[in-house]
């Protein structure tokens, strides 16, 4: 037993100071933490032998003296991240800074049920680890996004409408059985929100991300962290009622839901009714990009309807960034223009004074990036990281 193992909690606390990636000397850490230099030295030795810290290049170049500057080592472990949609998945292996090392897009059918889909994800995950020159023992954890409601604490899907056989399935236990790693699960919109936030908006504290595709959902970032609410249902705005449209029936059984009025599927149905055949968000996007006037009008109106619901969120939550993504956002400026129109019209000036309403910046990597950060934030936190120090 090394001396550092005697104080794993203290060592884990010291590690938190270095998570920002900035290299520091032992003296700087001593000044920053108020700890005696001997205590700092002992804890750094433990962190160096765990691999979580490395000597930084800066000190190595000073000549004959042993290096004294240490920094967080993002290569210490890797994360397997999976963003699973209805008909395809994106998988990635990232380092501990959330940078993607290798990735793969895969066609799969979520309706095949959890065992077939998750076994395939784990098999491809192993192959990606090999491709990255790593193996299962290097996994800090596995992060998974699913296209339906998830009870985040248990990682179990809860009555997911497009995922037959998944209701209540213990996703973390299954994946842990396959790969032997801690597994965290959330809905796809939350992980996209987290990925987009960390990549582009981390200097802002409060953000709303809305995904407009076959369904409509949002993810809330509050004080830099996902706000999931008591059951993980926060942000599920697709079934908020749109004031003016009272007779459209939604698949949830209610009438006038936002999703039944303004989703890609809803617009496709309206276009078909108007004599312009369309069946999916992709069809609507193609029509809009080709200048179809009814498509552009419906997309703009969908933006306004979404904006009306978001105006309530803006009033209640006061974000400084509102990001719009999802398949329908590829239709161009008309969706976001409609959102801006309604949000600015329906919100008080103080709430919109510094509000930026922007398209998603991260593209289709937002999901895997967010799934990786979900794992990293959890497993490297002070209370969790201790388990890595005694291995
Ligand atoms: Zn509904």
Q: How far is the CA of 306 from the centre of ligand 1 (A)?
A: 14
Provide DSSP, 255-303.
Answer: BSBHHHHHSHHHHHHHHHHTT----SHHHHHHHHHTT-HHHHHHHHHHH
Could you tell me the distance, in angstroms and rounded to a whole number, from the CA of residue 259 to the centre of ligand 1?
6
The sign of the torsion formed by the CA atoms of 201, 202, 206, 210 equals positive
Give the Cβ contact number of residue 137 at 10 Å.
Answer: 10
DSSP string, 102-168: EEEEEE--GGG-HHHHHHHHHHHHHHHHHHTT--GGGEEEEEEEESS-EETTTTEE-S-TT-TT-TT
The rounded Å distance from CA 332 to ligand 1 centre is 26
**SS3 label, residue 8:** helix
pLDDT values of the chain reduced to their tens digit, one per residue, 391 residues: 444 445 788 899 999 999 989 999 999 999 999 999 999 999 999 999 999 999 986 544 555 666 679 999 999 999 999 999 988 999 999 999 999 999 999 999 999 999 999 999 999 999 999 999 999 999 999 999 999 999 989 999 998 888 999 999 999 999 999 999 999 999 999 999 999 999 999 999 999 999 999 889 999 999 999 999 988 889 999 999 998 867 889 988 899 999 999 999 999 999 999 999 999 999 999 999 999 999 999 999 999 999 999 999 999 999 999 999 999 999 989 999 999 999 999 998 888 889 999 999 998 899 999 999 999 999 999 888 888 887 5
Tokens of 30: 């001593």
Q: 312: closest CA among 267, 338, 345, 337?
A: 345
| Residue 237 CA to ligand 1 centre (angstroms) | 9
Q: What pLDDT shows up at residue 275?
A: 95
Dihedrals φ, ψ of 2, to 5°?
Answer: -85, 165
Q: Which of 114, 213, 124 is nearest to 165 (CA)?
A: 114
Distance 254 CA to ligand 1 centre (A): 5
Quote the ligand 1 centre to 281 CA distance (angstroms). Answer: 18
Give 245 Cα–ligand 1 centroid separation in angstroms: 12
Contacts of 358 (CB under 8 A, 6+ apart): 321, 322, 323, 324, 336
Distance 121 CA to ligand 1 centre (A): 30
Q: 54 — phi, psi (to 5°)?
A: -140, 160
CA 226, distance to chain mean position in Å, is 9
Global confidence as pTM:
0.91
17 Cα to the center of ligand 1, angstroms: 45
**CA 358 to ligand 1 center in whole angstroms:** 26
Query: How far is ligand 1, taken at its centre, from the CA of residue 168, in Å?
Result: 21
């Amino acid at each position: 037993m090394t001396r550092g193992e005697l104080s794993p909690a203290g060592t884990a606390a010291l590690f938190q100071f270095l998570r920002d990636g900035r290299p520091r000397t032992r003296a700087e850490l001593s000044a920053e933490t108020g700890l005696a230099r001997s205590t700092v030295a002992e804890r750094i030795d433990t962190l160096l032998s765990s691999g979580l810290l490395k000597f930084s290049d800066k000190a190595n170049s000073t000549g004959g003296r042993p290096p004294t500057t240490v920094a967080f080592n993002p290569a210490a472990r890797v994360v397997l991240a999976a963003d699973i949609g209805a008909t395809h998945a994106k998988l990635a292996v990232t380092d501990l800074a959330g940078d993607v090392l290798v990735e793969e897009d895969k066609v799969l059918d979520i309706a095949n049920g959890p065992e077939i889909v998750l076994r395939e994800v784990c098999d491809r995950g192993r192959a990606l680890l090999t491709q990255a020159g790593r193996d299962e023992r290097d996994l800090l954890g596995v992060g998974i996004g699913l296209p339906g409601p998830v009870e985040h604490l248990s990682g179990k899907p809860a009555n997911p409408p497009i995922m037959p056989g998944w209701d209540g399935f213990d996703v973390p236990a299954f994946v842990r059985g396959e790969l032997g790693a801690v597994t965290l699960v959330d809905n796809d919109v939350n992980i996209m929100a987290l990925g987009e936030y960390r990549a582009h908006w981390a200097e802002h504290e409060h953000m709303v991300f809305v995904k407009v595709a076959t369904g409509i959902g949002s993810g809330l970032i509050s004080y830099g962290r996902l706000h999931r609410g008591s059951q993980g249902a926060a942000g599920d705005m697709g079934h908020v009622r749109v004031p003016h449209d009272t007779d459209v029936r939604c698949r949830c059984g209610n009438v006038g839901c936002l999703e039944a009025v303004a989703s890609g599927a809803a617009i496709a149905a309206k276009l078909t009714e108007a004599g312009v055949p369309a069946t999916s968000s992709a069809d609507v996007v193609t029509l809009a990009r080709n200048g179809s006037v009814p498509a552009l009008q419906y997309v703009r109106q969908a933006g306004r309807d979404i904006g009306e619901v978001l105006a309530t969120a803006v009033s209640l939550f006061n974000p400084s960034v509102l990001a719009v993504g999802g398949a329908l956002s590829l239709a161009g400026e008309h969706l976001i223009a409609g959102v801006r129109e309604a949000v600015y019209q329906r919100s008080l000036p103080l709430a919109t004074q510094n509000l930026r309403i922007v398209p998603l910046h991260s593209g289709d990597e937002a999901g895997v990036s967010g799934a990786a950060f979900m794992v990293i934030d959890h497993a490297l936190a002070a209370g969790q990281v201790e388990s890595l120090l005694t291995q």
